[in-house]
Amino acid sequence: MFGKGLLKGLKITIGRFFGKKSTVQYPEKRLPLPDRFYGKPDFHYDKCIACNLCVNACPNKVITLGTDTVEKKKVVTGYHFDQQYCLFCGLCEEACPKDAITFTDDFELTTYDRNTIGIEFVKQEQVDNKIKEIKQAAAEKAAAEKAAAETKVQTENTDKEQTTNKEGGA
């Protein structure tokens, strides 16, 4: 019969009119985000071994890794993440052997200024600290080596003395 479909539609809409609403009042309430969500990237300076795998994995050349060799050790001096070109594909996270680059669940990435879109993860003091650490470690190592060498020399000397003494005594 003509009009049956029209009435059925009206019935459905009036049912929904009094039914449950599916809106989530966003800024106050948020839907739970899954663990795998690709939000704002996060970088763990201490974990990074400067292997460059993430840079090579990225399809859009988002990541620029700055490295420096201090005392024959690679130091990350800069990790620039140019977020505006990021596809949020997660290939960098997958490539990283040490989980140094991860993604948080922060999806509110809007900024007022274009210059603030790119993220410079590495702070100068972190680099300074790291370099200092390495230098210190190297210095300690060197000192230890030196001390070890000295003791060795000493022991050698004493050995010599002993031998000479022995010889003398002989």
Partner 1 sequence: MKTQEMLLNVGPQHPSTHGVFRVVLTLDGETVVNATSVPGYLHRGIEKLVESRTYPQVLPYTDRLDYLAGILMNWGYVHAMEQLMEIEVPERAEYIRVIVGELQRIASHLVATGAYAGDVGGLTGFIYCFRDREDIMDMIEMVSGARLTPSYMRIGGVAGDLPDGFLEKCQKFIDYLPTAIEEYNGLITGNEIFQHRTKKVAPITAEKAINMSLSGPILRASGVNYDLRKARPYSIYDRFEFDVPLGSNGDCFDRFYLRILEMTQSARIIRQALAKLPEGPINAKVPKIIKPPAGEVYAETESSKGIMGVYVVSDGSTKPYRVHFRRPSFVNMGHFDELIRGWKIADVIAILGSFDIVLGEVDC
Partner 2 sequence: MENIFVNAAGGIRNLLESAGLPGLAVDLIVLTVIFVAILVFVLLNVLWLVYMERKVSAFIQCRIGPNRVGPMGLFQTIADTVKLISKEIIIPKNTNKKLFLLAPVMIFMPPMAVFAVTPFGKGMVALDLNIGVYYFVALASLSTVIIWTAGWTSNNKYSLLGSMRVVAQMVSYEVPLLLSIVGVVLLTGTLNLTGIITSQQSVWFIFLQPLAFLIYLIAAVAETNRTPFDLVEGESEIITGPFTEYSGMGFAFFFLAEYANVLLVSMLASILFLGGWLAPFGLTFIPSWIWLLLKVYLMIFILMWLRWTYPRIRIDQMMAFCWKVLVPLAIVNIFVTGIGKYLYESVRW
Interface residues with partner 2 (CB under 8 A) are 6, 9-10, 12-14, 16-23, 25
In the complex, what is the shortest distance from the CB of residue 94 to partner 2, in angstroms, rounded to a whole number? 38
Chain contacts with partner 1 (rule: CB under 8 A)? 2-6, 8-9, 11-13, 16, 22, 31, 33-38, 57-59, 87-91, 94, 103
CB 53 within 8 A of CB 26: no
Q: What is the CA radius of gyration of the chain?
A: 32
Residue 61 or residue 141: which is nearer to partner 1 going by CB?
Answer: 61
In the complex, what is the shortest distance from the CB of residue 59 to partner 1, in angstroms, rounded to a whole number? 4
Q: Which does 25 bind (CB under 5 to 8 A by kind): partner 2, partner 1, none?
A: partner 2
Q: Which does 19 bind (CB under 5 to 8 A by kind): partner 2, partner 1, none?
A: partner 2
SS3 content of the chain, % helix, strand, coil (to 5): 45, 15, 40
Residue 103 is classified by DSSP as E
71: left (phi over 0), alpha (psi -120 to 50) or beta: left
